[in-house]
Structure 1
Amino acid sequence: MFGRRAPLPVFPPGALLVGGAARDWLRGVPAKDFDWAVPDPAGAAQGLARVSGGAAFPLDAERGYWRVSAPGGVQHDLVPLPVDVTADLLRRDFTVNALGVWADGRVLDPAGGRADLRSRRLRMVSRENLRADPLRAWRAARFEGTLGFRLEVETEAAVREVAVDLGAGLLPMPAWERVRDELHALLGSEGAARGVARLEELGLLVLTVPELREGLGVAQGGFHHLDVFGHSLEALHQLLARRPDAPLTLRWAALLHDVGKARTRAVDPVTGRVSFHGHERVGAELSAGILTRLKLPGDEVRRVSALVGAHMLPLPANEREARRFVHRRRELLPDLLSLMLADREAARGPASSEASRRTYARGFERVLAALEEQPSAPPPLLGGQEIMALLGVPPGPRVGMAARALAEAAALGEVTTPDGARAFVRDWADGNPTT
């Protein structure tokens, strides 16, 4: 019907395969996440765990919800088989998800989902279903981006209504964790930039990352041919064109790298020149706030913020500067280079030229060569105790300063032996007196 169907998975006794896995089977797309409605969720979960070599555990023992985590990232969620299967399917979000498949291949399709699959059309089961769980508005944008479907007219209108009513406080805002998960599914797709643009068109971006919208209509000039918002989307597109496997933190950094520009824009009253001084610092702070609000883990928040804060660093003009660049930003590499290149390739304004692109490329080559020459930091030449003895001070900030200076000198190849390190620390102390 839609191409070669994938083989049906092993069904638990009396089970109905529902939702996305049923949809993907009809599309001929292998699935890793399986949703089952079964007469006995606990028993079926234990059976699946034995067959797959996975682990079964209850998600909600009171309601009989179970999950099996199997090797290879495969996951099975099991819920009790409803008395009225058709009514249960008709409570779902979109027709392409309101499908069920029995073990013998028979398909339950009470909402006409198979026709919508053929037409690559995303159609709501009902307006009431969308409003019952407003997160389904974000899911609509996500499915457009990840499935390559298009919202039909009435469904798009209903999604826009949900967005308006959420903004007016007439519907409850979904938990940020759930919104984050939908955003991550969208950002993880190859059409992530188009997906973010679609969030804006549907009125959902203002509810999600309003700070990003501040770049709409903010002209830049110089190297730039797009407004700040358009440039941010283009940078994400350029990133994924070169690194389709980019991690989510890098995708976030590309999207948010100029989020501070609207708040730092200034125009010289004499020349009329537009500037955004300090936008990387403001952007780093805004990025941290945005991702904290979306409940990302702290280490991911810090990494994105650091990448945004560093994206305007000048590229080195010689090999020594390249080694220093690598030493000081090693933890951000190579992601920082990918972000900087995406930023540069997304900017093709009147100031951009072939000569400037060649200069930029040479800077990248120097950094990559230095990183290849020294992929990890050299081991410390002196321990903290010896540095304290050389300085004649107890543990404290001064010891850390000396250790960092020594580490950089070693990374630059200026110090290579313990004796040379001791001499360096003594010279450093003479040049950095405590008073």
Structure 2
Amino acid sequence: MLRMGSVQRNFQKTMPQLTSLLDAIPFAPADWPGPLALVGGSVRDALLNRTRVPLDLDFVCPGPVAERARVLARRLGAGFAVLDAEHEIVRLVLDSGITLDFARRQGADLVSDLARRDYTVNAIAWDVHAGELFDPFDGRGDLTRRTLRAICEANLVDDPLRLLRGYRLAAQLDFAIEPATRAWIGLHAHRLAAVSAERVREELCALICAPTGADALLATYRDGLLADWLPEIAPMEAIGPSGYHHLPLIEHTFEVIRQVDGAIADFAEQVRADMDRQVTGGHSVRTLVKLGALLHDIAKPPTSKLDPASGRMSFIGHESLGANMTRQILQRLKFSRDEERWVAALVQHHLRPGQLAAHWPPSNRAVYRLCRDLGQMLPALLMLALADRRSTLGPQVGQDDLARAVELTGRLLGHYYTPGDPLAHPRTLIDGNGLMAELDLKPGPRVGQLLAAIQEAQATGEVTGREEALALARTLL
């Protein structure tokens, strides 16, 4: 814990928001020889009374950094890693989950370092030894005004990821981007193409999951920042409203993203743990559902076809082509294979819950097949489908359709979260080895086909035991 001197204690009286942050620093000023300042997001969030869990603290100091940080890591029993050897940026990770990043100060003094940062609200620093707050660009004033303002145009150009970060910060903090700053972002939007896919991916994921992420992402698109990374979005502008969709396709897409959190909240008791779970690659299922929302209709423009007689537009096969396009997009952004598989499956199957609701009540066979095909992805698909339904309010959609979508979601989640449910989790009547032994079969695709037929017949009540399963298999040979 940071041991407060008289200057820090006096400062706490006028800036009490920093108290908990300073108390969380797990070492005393004397443990770090030489100047040291706490900077960036942790100071900003403390001044806004925002809690960060786990805590991530960023420090700057004159060099040398690495050796001092190694000594501190040993003292704290923390893990140590070099993030950037050239700029002397290192990370300490404590068992408590707290992360400490130390970077060599850029420039002759602390103010010079802060002058190189992106936005004024991120250019506020606390001098650990002097107990003094540095705010040379009125970042606190912008916090009060709830405004995101760039320090200068050159700083945005220096690292073009800062262009996209502006929208992410505005969405997370619920701030407005200052007009001159937004003009600079639009002017230099093309520079985002030079940033690595991994860095763009992480900003996009953080943005889309922010409370106002859908609105910020739409603004990001409108200002040209997605032109190189998601060029597939622009053709969606050509698709207007229809009998089912009250919004043009581009606006419908972002409305679906908005509706995802509400769908999850309505079924939070059942799905929250699954939505918060991370898949291989490090992103939560909730993030993947929102990416699925962004991409679920991505193939409507290339599959659109106008019927001259009725004047209606059709998009036959857009879910299958959309799944292929989704794989390409996620590969472009360097998502993991597992994340790519999840989002592509959500796009591929996003129509199926609606198809079940249209043939009410759904048959056991249809429910079984959906559970079988989606497996652990079923709750994610249901959240996407419900968000999609709530975003589709054209004149051909009635209140009964919306109520049925909610009822279907609850019914399917009930199957999924019931252990041993015969439709979602049917017990095995006979396995492949048993089937081959009983019917004198050799290994091959036919065995899998027979097992699939047995399991479906079991789900629909056509077979209930091993002998009936074998009898069915014999009739299929």
8 Å Cα contact 1:56-1:68 kept in structure 2? yes
1:251 aligns with 2:290: yes
- Aligned match of 1:132 in 153, 158, 170? 158
Partner of 2:56: 33
1:91 aligns with 2:116: yes
1:337-356 C-alpha deviation (Å, 9 max, x unpaired):
11111111001100011233
Q: How far does residue 267 in structure 1 lie from its aligned partner after superposition?
A: 1.0
Instruction: Say which SS state the counterpart of residue 83 (structure 2) adopts.
Output: strand
- Aligned match of 1:342 in 376, 384, 387? 387
TM-score, normalised with respect to structure 2: 0.82
8 Å Cα contact 1:291-1:301 kept in structure 2? yes
- Aligned match of 1:107 in 133, 141, 149? 133
- Aligned match of 1:57 in 56, 74, 81? 81
1:395-419 C-alpha deviation (Å, 9 max, x unpaired):
2111111122223333444433332
- Aligned match of 1:267 in 280, 294, 306? 306
Q: How far does residue 304 in structure 1 lie from its aligned partner after superposition?
A: 0.5
Q: How far does residue 154 in structure 1 lie from its aligned partner after superposition?
A: 1.3
Residues 49, 379 of structure 1: alpha-carbon distance in 2 compared, 3 angstrom cutoff: farther
- Aligned match of 2:255 in 234, 237, 246? 234
Partner of 2:349: 310
Residues 49, 406 of structure 1: alpha-carbon distance in 2 compared, 3 angstrom cutoff: farther
Q: Which ranges of structure 1 fall in alignment gaps of 5 or more residues?
A: 430-435
1:409 aligns with 2:457: yes
Residues 341, 59 of structure 1: alpha-carbon distance in 2 compared, 3 angstrom cutoff: same
Letter in 2 for 1:55: G
- Aligned match of 2:372 in 313, 327, 331? 327
Distance 1:51 1:258 in 2: 54
Instruction: Say which SS state the counterpart of residue 281 (structure 1) adopts.
Output: helix
1:388 aligns with 2:427: no
1:427 aligns with 2:475: yes
Q: How far does residue 40 in structure 1 lie from its aligned partner after superposition?
A: 5.2
Residues 63, 162 of structure 1: alpha-carbon distance in 2 compared, 3 angstrom cutoff: closer
1:25-53 C-alpha deviation (Å, 9 max, x unpaired):
22232332211114553355346546765
1:149-183 C-alpha deviation (Å, 9 max, x unpaired):
211121111111111x43xxxx8611111111110
Q: Which moved more, 1:140-149 or 1:379-388?
A: 379-388
Partner of 1:433: none
Letter in 2 for 1:232: T
Q: How far does residue 387 in structure 1 lie from its aligned partner after superposition?
A: 2.0
8 Å Cα contact 1:390-1:425 kept in structure 2? no
8 Å Cα contact 2:165-2:203 kept in structure 1? yes
1:162 aligns with 2:185: no
Instruction: Say which SS state the counterpart of residue 78 (structure 1) adopts.
Output: strand
TM-score, normalised with respect to structure 1: 0.90
Distance 2:402 2:120 in 1: 49
8 Å Cα contact 1:388-1:395 kept in structure 2? yes
8 Å Cα contact 2:244-2:392 kept in structure 1? yes
Letter in 2 for 1:144: A
1:300 aligns with 2:371: no
1:27-84 C-alpha deviation (Å, 9 max, x unpaired):
2323322111145533553465467654222223454321112345432111234542
Q: Which moved more, 1:51-60 or 1:221-230?
A: 51-60
Residues 389, 46 of structure 1: alpha-carbon distance in 2 compared, 3 angstrom cutoff: same
Distance 1:217 1:176 in 2: 28
1:68 aligns with 2:92: yes
Distance 1:240 1:147 in 2: 17
Q: How far does residue 271 in structure 1 lie from its aligned partner after superposition?
A: 1.2
Distance 1:117 1:177 in 2: 29
1:282 aligns with 2:321: yes
8 Å Cα contact 2:304-2:313 kept in structure 1? yes
Instruction: Say which SS state the counterpart of residue 206 (structure 1) adopts.
Output: coil
1:202 aligns with 2:220: no
Distance 1:107 1:197 in 2: 36
8 Å Cα contact 1:325-1:367 kept in structure 2? no
1:122 aligns with 2:122: no
8 Å Cα contact 2:256-2:387 kept in structure 1? yes
Partner of 2:280: none
Instruction: Say which SS state the counterpart of residue 386 (structure 2) adopts.
Output: helix
Residues 184, 273 of structure 1: alpha-carbon distance in 2 compared, 3 angstrom cutoff: same
- Aligned match of 1:45 in 33, 58, 69? 69
1:356 aligns with 2:401: yes
Distance 2:39 2:115 in 1: 12
8 Å Cα contact 1:15-1:81 kept in structure 2? no
Q: Which moved more, 1:374-383 or 1:301-310?
A: 374-383
Q: Which ranges of structure 2 fall in alignment gaps of 5 or more residues?
A: 1-13, 266-271, 276-285
Q: How far does residue 143 in structure 1 lie from its aligned partner after superposition?
A: 1.0
Distance 2:182 2:227 in 1: 17
- Aligned match of 1:367 in 390, 412, 415? 412
8 Å Cα contact 2:292-2:344 kept in structure 1? yes
8 Å Cα contact 1:145-1:186 kept in structure 2? yes
State the identity as a percent: 35
Residues 150, 359 of structure 1: alpha-carbon distance in 2 compared, 3 angstrom cutoff: closer
Letter in 2 for 1:249: L
8 Å Cα contact 1:324-1:411 kept in structure 2? no
Q: How far does residue 332 in structure 1 lie from its aligned partner after superposition?
A: 2.0
C-alpha RMSD of matched pairs (Å):
2.4
8 Å Cα contact 2:432-2:451 kept in structure 1? yes
8 Å Cα contact 1:17-1:100 kept in structure 2? yes
Partner of 2:6: none
- Aligned match of 1:215 in 213, 221, 236? 236
Q: How far does residue 207 in structure 1 lie from its aligned partner after superposition?
A: 2.6
Q: How many residues align?
A: 424
1:235-265 C-alpha deviation (Å, 9 max, x unpaired):
1111112326642111111121111111111
1:7 aligns with 2:21: yes
